[in-house]
C-alpha cells in the first residue's frame, strides 16, 4: 500500500493507494461504530464499486444511507446539494455521522460540499473512482458546485478524513474518461516535475496497458499536487499554479453548459495548449516546449484544439467574457498560469487581452 501524507497544520489526512477493502479496513471501528454513513455516488461508480464498499463496511456497526445520482456535471448544482441535505436530515443524519463520496470529480466535489455545510461540517471520506479524481480533485479539500455564471463559483474548503484510491476502479472506465483524467495527471508534470513528463513520453504506448506504470505515474502526479497543497492550503499564492489550462478550459467548458459534448479534462487539455501558445507570444517559453507538449498530447489522444468538435459554434467574444467571470479573476483582471518551460510555470495578471483574443481565434481556427 502506497501512502501520501497530506500534512496540513489543520486537518491532516492520508491518501491511500490500495484496493478498496484494504483501505476501508484502516478505519478504526470506534470512530464510526453506532453512526450513520451516507454514501453519495452515481450510477456508473455504484454499479462497479458499491458492492465492494458495502462488503468492506459490513464489519462495522453502522447504518448506511445510499444516495445514487445520474452521472455527469449536470448534478454539480446547488439544488442537487440541497436535495441531498434534505434527504439526510429527513433520515436524522447527525453531526457525528460520516459522508463517503464514491465516484469521480463531480461526486467528490458535491459530496465534499455537502459534508462541509451540513451541520456546519461532518466527517468526509473520498473514494475517487476516476483517473482525474485520483490524481487531482480528491486532494486539496476544494469542494463545491457550479453556478449559471461559471464553474466552481459556489463552494468551500473541506478536507477529507481519508482518501482511498483503488486503481482497479479505473478498469471499467471508457478510454475517453481515462484520457480526460490523464490531462490533469500530465498537468502536474508540466507544473513541477519535468522528470515525470519525460517518463510519460518514454512510456506513452504503455501508460494505460501496464498496471505498474499507471500506478507509478498516478502516485508521482498526485505527489506534485499534495506538495503544493501542503505549502498553500487555501490558494493564497503558489497553489494557483494548479490552474494551468483552467482559465481557458473552464471558459470553453462553461460555453457548452456541461452538456457532455466536452469533458472537463478535454477542455483543460485544450486550455493547456492555449496557455503554452500565450507563453510563446509573450516570449516566456520556447517554441520547442509547445511542440513537444503538443506532440505528446497528439500521440496519446488528447484534444489540442476545437476543430474536431461539431455542433454549437463557439463565439470568441463569449469565451473571453466567460474568462472574465472566472473565480480566479481579481480586480476584473484575467489571471493566467503560463509555462516558462516543462516543469515550471508562473502566474500572470498582466496579459494583454489582444493576445488572449489571438490565442482564442487560433484555437477556434478562425
**What's the CATH number of domain 2-171, 3.30.540.10, 2.60.40.10, 3.90.1150.10, 3.40.50.1970?**
3.40.50.1970
Distance CA 86, CA 94 (A): 12
Q: Cα 246 to chain center, whole Å? A: 11
User: Does 120 qualify as catalytic in the annotation?
Assistant: yes
Predicted pLDDT of residue 42:
98
- Structure confidence at residue 173 (pLDDT): 94
Architecture category of domain 174-364 in CATH = Up-down Bundle (1.20)
Question: In the chain, which ranges are continuous DSSP H helix?
Answer: 20-24, 29-32, 43-57, 78-90, 105-117, 131-132, 175-192, 194-202, 211-231, 246-255, 264-282, 287-300, 316-324, 353-364
Residue 114: the pLDDT is 99
Enumerate residues 6+ apart whose C-beta is below 8 A from 50: 39, 41, 66, 68, 102
d(Cα 144, Cα 251) in Å, to the nearest integer? 17
Known active-site residue 243: yes
Q: Which one from 220, 225, 289, 327 is the annotated catalytic residue?
A: 225
CA dihedral for 141, 146, 152, 153, sign (positive or negative): negative
Task: Return d(Cα 31, Cα 194) in angstroms, integer.
Answer: 41
pLDDT of res. 311: 58
Residue 285 CA to residue 279 CA, distance in Å, equals: 6
From the candidates 123, 219, 250, 327, give the one annotated as an active-site residue: 250
Active site residue 264: yes
* 152 is a catalytic site residue: no
Whether 4 contacts 226, CB under 8 Å: yes
What gap in Å lies between CA 13 and CA 8, rounded to an integer?
8
Query: Is 216 annotated in the active site?
Result: no
Q: Three-class SS string for 159-210?
A: CCCEEEECHHHHHHCCHHHHHHHHHHHHHHHHHHCHHHHHHHHHCCCCCCCC
Is 246 a known active-site residue?
Answer: yes
Nearest 5 degrees, angle CA 338-CA 345-CA 181?
85
Report pLDDT for 327. 65
Cell reading at 32: 464510526
Spatial CB neighbours of 18, under 8 Å, sequence gap ≥ 6: 1, 2, 164, 165, 166
Encode the chain (366 residues) as per-residue pLDDT tens digits: 899 999 998 999 999 999 999 999 999 999 999 999 999 999 999 999 999 999 999 999 999 999 999 998 899 999 999 999 999 999 999 999 999 999 999 999 999 999 999 999 999 999 999 999 999 999 999 999 999 888 889 999 999 999 999 999 999 999 999 999 999 999 999 999 999 999 999 999 999 999 999 999 999 999 999 999 999 998 888 999 999 999 999 999 888 877 778 899 999 999 999 999 999 999 999 999 999 999 999 999 999 988 756 556 677 788 888 898 776 666 678 899 999 999 999 999 999 999 999 999 898 875
pLDDT of residue 320: 86
Considering the candidates 142, 187, 188, 219, report the single residue annotated as catalytic.
Answer: 142
Unique residue bearing C-alpha cell 441531498 = 84
Residue 235 annotated in active site: yes
Predicted pLDDT of residue 364 = 80
Domain-by-domain residue ranges, the chain?
Answer: 2-171, 174-364
Between CA 70 and CA 42 the distance in angstroms is 5
Q: Which of 152, 243, 277, 289 is catalytic?
A: 243
CB atoms inside a 10 Å sphere around CB 59? 13
Report the pLDDT value the prediction gives residue 257, as an integer from 0 to 100. 75
> What does the longest C-alpha to C-alpha distance in the chain come to?
62
Using alpha carbons, list the distances in angstroms from residue 226 to 7, 116, 242, 315, 359: 9, 20, 11, 37, 31
pLDDT for 235 equals 84
C-alpha grid cell, residue 356 = 488572449
Euclidean distance between the first and the last CA atom of the chain, given in angstroms as a whole number: 50
Amino acid at each position: 500500500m502506497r501512502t501520501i501524507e497530506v500534512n496540513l497544520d489543520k486537518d491532516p489526512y492520508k491518501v491511500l493507494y490500495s484496493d478498496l477493502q484494504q483501505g476501508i479496513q484502516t478505519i478504526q471501528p470506534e470512530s464510526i461504530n453506532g453512526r450513520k454513513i451516507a454514501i453519495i455516488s452515481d450510477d456508473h461508480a455504484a454499479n462497479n464499486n458499491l458492492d465492494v464498499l458495502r462488503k468492506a463496511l459490513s464489519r462495522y456497526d453502522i447504518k448506511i444511507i445510499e444516495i445514487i445520482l445520474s452521472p455527469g456535471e449536470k448534478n454539480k448544482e446547488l439544488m442537487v446539494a440541497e436535495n441531498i441535505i434534505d434527504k439526510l436530515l429527513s433520515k436524522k443524519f447527525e453531526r457525528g455521522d460520516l459522508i463517503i463520496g464514491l465516484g469521480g470529480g463531480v461526486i467528490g466535489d458535491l459530496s465534499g460540499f455537502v459534508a462541509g455545510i451540513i451541520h456546519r461540517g461532518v466527517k468526509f471520506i473520498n473514494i475517487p473512482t476516476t483517473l482525474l479524481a485520483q490524481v487531482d480533485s480528491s486532494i486539496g479539500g476544494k469542494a463545491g458546485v457550479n453556478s449559471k455564471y461559471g464553474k466552481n463559483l459556489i463552494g468551500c474548503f473541506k478536507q477529507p478524513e481519508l482518501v482511498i484510491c483503488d486503481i482497479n476502479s479505473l478498469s471499467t472506465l471508457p478510454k475517453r474518461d481515462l484520457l480526460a483524467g490523464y490531462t490533469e495527471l500530465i498537468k502536474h508534470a508540466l507544473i513541477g516535475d519535468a522528470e515525470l513528463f519525460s517518463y510519460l513520453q518514454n512510456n506513452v504506448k504503455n501508460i494505460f496497458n501496464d498496471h505498474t506504470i499507471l500506478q507509478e505515474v498516478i502516485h508521482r502526479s498526485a505527489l506534485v499536487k499534495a506538495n503544493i497543497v501542503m505549502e498553500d492550503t487555501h490558494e493564497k499564492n503558489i497553489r494557483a499554479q494548479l490552474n494551468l489550462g483552467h482559465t481557458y478550459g473552464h471558459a470553453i467548458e462553461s460555453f457548452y453548459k456541461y452538456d457532455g459534448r466536452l469533458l472537463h479534462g478535454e477542455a483543460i487539455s485544450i486550455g493547456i495548449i492555449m496557455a503554452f501558445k500565450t507563453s510563446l507570444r509573450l516570449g516566456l517559453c520556447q517554441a520547442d516546449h509547445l511542440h513537444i507538449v503538443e506532440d505528446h498530447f497528439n500521440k496519446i489522444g488528447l484534444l489540442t484544439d476545437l476543430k474536431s468538435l461539431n455542433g454549437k459554434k463557439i463565439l470568441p467574444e463569449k469565451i473571453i467574457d466567460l474568462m472574465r467571470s472566472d473565480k480566479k479573476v481579481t480586480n476584473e483582471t484575467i489571471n493566467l498560469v503560463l509555462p516558462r518551460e516543462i516543469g515550471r510555470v508562473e502566474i500572470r495578471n498582466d496579459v494583454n487581452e489582444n493576445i488572449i483574443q489571438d490565442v482564442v481565434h487560433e484555437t477556434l481556427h478562425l
